[in-house]
Amino acid sequence: MRLSNILVWGAAGGIGRALVASFAARGHTVVAVARQPRELETLTPHIVTGAVDDPEQVTAAVRRAIEVASTFDVFTYAVGDIASVKIAEMAPEDWRRIMDANLAGVYLTTRAALPYLASQAHLFFLGAPHERLRLPGLGAYAAAKAGIEALAEVIRKETRRRVTVVRPQAVRTPMWEKVPFRVPANALSPEQVAQAIVQAWEQGQEGILDL
pLDDT tens profile 20-77: 999 999 999 999 999 988 889 899 999 999 999 999 999 999 999 999 999 999 999 9
The matching CATH number, chosen from 3.40.50.2300, 3.40.50.300, 3.40.190.10, 3.40.50.720, for 5-210 is 3.40.50.720
Dmax (CA) of the chain? 53
| pLDDT grade for 185, boundaries at 50, 70 and 90 | confident
pTM over 0.85: yes
| pLDDT grade for 180, boundaries at 50, 70 and 90 | low
pLDDT tens profile 87-144: 999 999 999 999 999 999 999 999 999 999 999 999 999 999 888 878 888 899 999 9
Q: DSSP letter string over 90-125?
A: --HHHHHHHHIIIIIHHHHHHHHHGGGEEEEEEEEE
Distances (CA, A) of 103 to 10, 14, 110: 13, 18, 11
